[in-house]
Structures are given as structure tokens and as C-alpha cells.
Chain A
Amino acid sequence: MPTVRFTTALRRFFPSLKEQEVAGGTVAEVLEEVESLYPGIKDYVLDEQGRLRQHVNIFLSGELIEDKETLQDRVRDKDEVYVFQALSGG
């Protein structure tokens, strides 16, 4: 199964968040699994239209995902899905 990792910034809202293996053949499916483990987390990553938030990035084995609208990038068993926040000032 693919492994999903998160920016530590999300631990403030989901203290038990940890790197782990989850099922899923697309980024969207992986996030659905994550949502079932940490209810509410999807709203932090996606907007209400299901799109990746503007200042959030998801890397798939080191590469930014291509489909930020419907998250249909294919995920393979050995892939790492990394949810990260974009850099900002202030």
C-alpha cells in the first residue's frame, strides 16, 4: 500500500496524525482513507469543490501532482503521498 505523510503543521489540528500506509489507487482515494482515519482533515486540504487548496501541495513520490482539480493522479503501491503546505510570509 502507498504511504502517506503530512506536514507537521497539521498535527496542531490532528495531534495523532502520523505517517502510515493507506489503501487507494488515486490521490483522491488515498485522501478518502485518510479522512476515515482523521475525520475533518479533508476540509483542511481540499476546498468545498473538492479541489486542492491554493496554498497546499501534494507530492507523489517527490513530484507535485498534476490533477489539482479532481485528484485523479494514479498512486502505486510503493508511492509516497506527501501533504505539505506552501510557503508563505507574515
Chain B
Amino acid sequence: MKLLIGTSKGLIAYHRSSDAWKIEKAHFVGMPVSMVFADPRNNTWWVGLAHRHWGQKLHYSEDEGRSWKTVPMPKYPAGAEYRAGKPAVLKKVWCMQQAGPNRPGGLWLGTEPGGLFYSADNGQQFELVESLWNHPSRLDENQWFGAGRDFPFIHSIVVDPRDEDHVYIAVSCAGVFETTDGGQSWAPRNNGLIAAYLPNPQVEVGHDPHLLLACNANPDVIWQQNHCGIFRTTNGGQSWDNVTDKDGLPDYGFALAIDHEDPDKAWVIPAVSDEMRVAPGLALCVCRTEDGGRSWQALRNGLPQEHCFDIVFRHSLAKQDNILAFGTTTGNLYLSEDYGDSWTCLSSHLARVDAVTFAPG
């Protein structure tokens, strides 16, 4: 098995040998790797680079990193405007998702400033999904707006394994949207969420999900770590339940992992709050629930418990079977092979970690 770490200074590929995880190779050294996606259909590795000078680039490898190719970058069409009079320009590639086994060349791409792109030919050409771009809510600056960035961005794409025309996206800030017709039309699915930073916290659109994941075994169960807590739906997003631990730790945070067999299990990594983005008590922990969010257990074994300033970004926690791994803003990489009960530090010398994913091999 491989573990791919996207950092602000390159892509680090780990390989699990018989007794240990070891760095196999560093790719794109010195370059900011902002997105990593390993396509489970064909094990193609995709990397998004966020060059300071040269813009966003996409590279892919079909041989586990031995060679890399590039594709023409997705382009906002001529005349596309982020707001009236403001031309839309690709600011950042946030996430990629495969479009399901029945669309073998299909790839979704979430970007900033709020454009969703689709490719039918394995990324050789991407086209803007106009139906979402022209959604009335996107055109309203009170409903789609930047959060920590100047523009809204699509950071999560969930494809229903039962039906590839059924897709959810999550936008910071706007919220969750659902299509059931392959992207021809979209509807907000934010009932029950809280936007505590708005005068009306129960708005239909204007929410800040930080990451969205659905359980493969029961895709109607969807989890999100949100700016305003942790939420879970059991009815495909028709309504969301707040499963934040009101008296305990997990509330604010970015990262989320779920169990794809058991829809009651999830992991989050808390930070103190929006205003205080450090580990609570300067002690790093992962919180796990095994009962659908009714209770949470803090897992600390092997994690630093004093003077710790790490937090974990939204795409920097990954799970594969019993193994979890996460990378932090201060370049630490931790791994557990017992569902989070105990952790090992694989490296404390990486650059800021922006993406973590597992890949076969």
C-alpha cells in the first residue's frame, strides 16, 4: 500500500514494506502540492500544483509515480464572470473525484472561485458545469462567498456508488448541493445546518461545510465537519443532525474520516475554534465515534500532549481499512494501524501538509 502526502514543498510517497512505512520517493520537490487524488478505478495518481507564479497545474501518473504527464488546465469559458463585471479565473484546484464505474473516463473537479468541472475523457479536457455555475444562489454574494479565501470553493464531491448521476458537492461558503440527474440541475441540501456567523443561522444557502463524506455501505448516511460543528444525515441530506459534542472536544475542525462499512463510525481532529486555530489545550487528539455521533472518544496515545501547535487541514486525514494517517500544518505525519487507538509519528520534518490519501501498490 502507498500513502501519498501533498505538502507545500512537494509530494511524498510512502510505501508500506513488511515491517514499516518508508519514504519511497519525493515528487515535485519544492512545489506546492495542493491536491492529491488516487483514482480507485485505475490507480492513476492525480496531483494539483498551486504555483505561486505560474498558476494551477494538473499532473497525473499511470505508473505509481515513475513518470508524470500533464493535461491542459480547465478554463473558465470566455466571458464567464465570478460576479458582474469580474472575470472568472481559476484560483485553485481543490478536489477531484471519479465519476463511477459506469463512466470510466469521468472525473469531477472542484475549484475556486466556485466552478465545478467535468471531464469525460480522463482529464484530457474539462468543461465547466454551467448548471451549477448559473445557479441563482451562486450569483448572490450573500449566498456564495469566500471563507478564509477571497472566493467560494468546491472542496468535496461525493458520488453515490448506487447511481453515478447522484452527486453531492460541498462549498465553502454556500453549503451542500445535490444533483440526481448527472449535474443538469442542483438543489441545496442544508436543512438543519447552522451558520452561526450570519444574522440568520438557518439560511438555505450560506453554510460552511469543511468536508463532506458519505458511507459506501449506506450512501444515505453523510457526514460533514462544518465550521459550526459536526453534522450527520441519515436521509441523503434531506435533514442534518448536529452531532457535535456540546460538552466535549469535537466541535470546530477541518478533517474528517468515516468507515465505509459501518455508517456509525467517524473520526475528526478538533481545533479550539475559528478564532483559536490550535489543538485544544495544545494537545493533539483524534476524536472517534462508534455510535453515529452520540458520543465521542478522544484518542491521544502516541500524539504530542503539550506545546503542540499542529492543526490538520480538511484533506489531510485519510483512512483505509484499519489504517488512519494525517499530516499537520507544521509538517508532522502520524499513522495508526488500529483505528486510531495508538499513533506513530512517521515524520516531523515535512512541510505543511495539504493532502493525504492512500493508494494501492
Binding site for B on A (CB under 8 A): 9-10, 13, 40, 43-45, 47-49, 53, 55-56, 85-86, 88, 90
Complex CA–CA separation, A10 to B52 (angstroms): 13
Number of contact residues on B: which range applies? 10 to 19
Contacts of A40 in B (CB 8 A): 70, 72
The contact string, 1 if C-beta is below 8 Å from chain A, for chain B 180-208, is 00000000000000000000000000000
Residue numbers in A under 8 Å from B73 (CB-CB): 43, 48
Task: Assess the B53–A85 pair: CB atoms within 8 A.
Answer: yes
Whether a CB of chain A sits under 8 angstroms from the CB of B272 is no
Contact residues of A: prevailing secondary structure: loop
CB atoms of A88 and B52 under 8 A apart: yes
Within 8 Å by CB of B55, from A9, A53, A90, lies A53
Say if the beta carbon of B346 comes within 8 Å of chain A: no
Query: Is the beta-carbon distance between A90 and B53 smaller than 8 angstroms?
Result: no
Closest to A57 in B: B53
12 A–B pairs (Cβ distance < 8 Å), ordered by A: A40-B72, A43-B55, A43-B57, A43-B72, A45-B54, A47-B55, A47-B90, A48-B90, A49-B78, A85-B53, A85-B54, A86-B53
* B76 in complex: contacting residue of A48, A56, A86, CB < 8 Å: A48
Secondary structure at chain B's binding surface: helix, strand, loop or mixed?
A: loop
* A48 near B54: Cβ-Cβ < 8 Å: no
- Determine whether the beta carbon of A9 is less than 8 Å from that of B53: yes
Report chain A residues within 8 Å CB of B55: 43-44, 47, 53
B87 at the interface (CB under 8 A from A): yes
Question: In the complex, are the beta carbons of A56 and B53 less than 8 A apart?
Answer: yes
Q: Please tell me if the beta carbons of B54 and A90 are within 8 angstroms of each other in the complex.
A: no
Q: Is the CB of A47 within 8 A of B89?
A: yes
Contact present for A53 and B70 (CB under 8 Å) = no
Known contacts A48-B90, A49-B89, A88 near B75 by CB under 8 Å? no
Q: Which of B53, B54, B70, B78 has the most CB of A within 10 A?
A: B53
Q: Which residues of B contact A10 (CB under 8 A)?
A: 54
Residue of B nearest to A7 (CB): B53
Which chain B residues in 87-107 approach chain A with CB under 8 Å?
87, 89-90
CA distance A85 to B54 in the complex (A): 8
Q: Is the CB of B70 within 8 A of A55?
A: no
With beta carbons under 8 angstroms apart, the residue of A47, A48, A55 that contacts B52 is: A55
Q: Chain A residue with minimal CB distance to B9?
A: A90
Give the nearest-CB partner of B30 in chain A: A12
